[in-house]
Each structure stands twice: as C-alpha cells, then as structure tokens.
Amino acid sequence: MSKLDRIKAEISFHEKMFFAAVAAVLALMGWLAANIESDNTILLFLGVCALLGSVIFGLQQYRVVKRLLKALEDV
C-alpha cells in the first residue's frame, strides 16, 4: 500500500469517527433535553460527562483529519 493510499484510508476512518461523535453529541443533547427535569441527578451528570467526552473526542478527530489532509497535500 502506498503512502498516499494509507493516508486516504486513515482520513476515511477518522472522518467516520468524527461523524459518529457528532451523532453521539446530537443524541445526547436530545436525551438531556428530554430528561432535564428528571430527579435522577447521577444519571444526568453521567449524561453531561458523556456529552463532554463526545465533544472532546469529536474535536480530536477533527484535528487528526486536518493534520492528515495537510500531510496529503505534502505528498
């Protein structure tokens, strides 16, 4: 596998992971909005933690894709 093909495959993988993170963020935001009046504060806290984790993961994947696109330009 050439370096160009490997970078393209990595970009494809990280793009998919980025969009999965976006889907998780949207789903968690919807779930939190629907359950904001719940008395179960531990469950809401865990939902907010999962939301923040998904946002951080999505940002990290976005940065990886940008770095790989820059590497693809240089090849």
CA 30 remoteness from chain centre? 16
Distance from C-alpha of 47 to C-alpha of 34, rounded to nearest angstrom = 12
| Residue spans of alpha helices (H) in the chain | 3-34, 41-74
Query: Of 43, 22, 17, which is closest to residue 31 (Cα–Cα)?
Result: 43
Total-model pTM = 0.89
**Per-residue pLDDT for 1 more than 80?**
no
- Summarised one tens digit per residue, pLDDT across range 19-32 is 999 999 999 999 99
Sequence-distant (6+) residues with CB within 8 A of 64 are 14
pLDDT value of position 74:
86
